[in-house]
Structures are given as structure tokens and as C-alpha cells.
């Protein structure tokens, strides 16, 4: 007899994923890991309600721009993955979300090494939430700060997103 699937809230699902207790029938209404995170080899390393830490190993040979440093778009994608993960922890099964603003300030170049994006909510509302993210490199120095505004979608607006 096949075991029934067990639907979990996103936060519980991700906590189980992090601590290695995710069962074969455990699932959630959002897709984890995301396709882009698999492609870019992002890893969720910490999770809490509206908070997430996402890391990656940067290498200019794979993620570089024409100046020979890690592309700013890669840093923004890492930050966006962290914010999306943080926001998803607060979503009910009939909800989704979309970014409506994202701003990045680049502080120093990166060539290689572990990058960490730490995202947390600075304001949460029923429809609109604000997030701050800092990306640091392995030596702890900040590489970029990113802010964003996210809109929660419900009902028909959330369908298919």
C-alpha cells in the first residue's frame, strides 16, 4: 500500500529539509528546491518565519562578467532567492507572491568563494511586505545590499503563479 502525501506549510517543509528529516511523502504547495536554485546551485542554510539565508559558491569562471568579476546579476539572483524563500514561509496554500520592486547597491567586487544572502522582513503587511538583504563573502565583508517590496497574491491572482 502506497503512503499518502503529507502536505506541510512551507516553513515546516524547509525546516525538515534542512535538518534531514524530510520524508518521501512530505510536500508543500510551493516548489522546493526551485529550478533556478538547482541550476545555480544555491543552498538554503537557515530558515525562519520571513527570514532565510541562501548561499552559493561563486566562481568568476562560471559567473563572471566582462570585467572579470562575479556578475552583479548573479548577486541579485542570489538575493532574490533569499527573499523569495523568506516570503514563502508566510504563504498559505491559496497564496502566492510577486516582487514589485528590487534595488541593489554593490559595495565591492567578488571573484570566487562562498557568498551568503541573508534576507529578513523589515515590514509585513497584509498585501505588501518590505525586505532587506545583505550579501557577504566568505571573509564576512559585505558585497551588496538589496531591498525589495513583495506583494502577496490571493485567490484568482495567485492561481497558476
CATH code, domain carrying 42: 3.10.129.10
CA proximity to 14, closest of 45, 40, 35? 45
Tens of pLDDT along the chain (161 residues) come to: 445 566 999 999 999 999 999 999 999 999 999 999 999 999 999 999 999 999 999 999 999 999 999 999 999 999 999 999 999 999 999 999 999 999 999 999 999 999 999 999 999 999 999 999 999 999 999 999 999 999 999 987 767 65
Q: State the alpha helices, DSSP H only, in the chain.
A: 10-19, 35-40, 60-63, 72-88
- Assigned domain for 1 exists: no
Could you tell me the pTM of the whole model? Answer: 0.92
50 with 129: CB under 8 angstroms? yes
Count of domains in the chain? 1
- Assigned domain for 23 exists: yes
CA dihedral 13, 51, 125, 72 (to 10 degrees): -110
Amino acid at each position: 500500500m502506497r503512503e499518502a502525501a503529507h502536505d506541510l506549510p512551507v516553513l515546516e517543509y524547509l525546516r525538515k529539509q534542512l535538518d534531514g528529516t524530510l520524508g518521501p511523502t512530505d510536500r508543500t504547495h510551493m516548489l522546493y528546491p526551485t529550478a533556478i536554485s538547482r541550476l545555480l546551485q544555491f543552498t538554503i542554510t537557515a530558515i525562519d518565519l520571513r527570514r532565510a539565508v541562501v548561499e552559493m559558491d561563486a566562481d568568476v569562471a562560471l559567473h563572471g562578467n566582462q570585467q572579470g568579476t562575479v556578475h552583479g546579476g548573479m548577486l541579485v539572483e542570489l538575493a532574490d532567492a533569499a527573499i523569495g524563500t523568506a516570503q514563502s514561509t508566510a504563504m498559505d496554500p491559496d497564496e502566492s507572491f510577486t516582487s514589485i520592486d528590487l534595488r541593489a547597491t554593490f559595495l565591492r567586487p567578488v571573484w570566487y568563494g562562498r557568498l551568503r544572502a541573508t534576507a529578513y522582513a523589515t515590514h509585513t503587511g497584509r498585501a505588501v511586505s518590505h525586505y532587506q538583504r545583505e550579501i557577504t563573502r566568505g571573509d564576512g565583508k559585505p558585497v551588496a545590499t538589496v531591498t525589495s517590496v513583495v506583494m502577496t497574491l490571493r485567490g484568482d491572482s495567485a492561481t497558476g503563479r
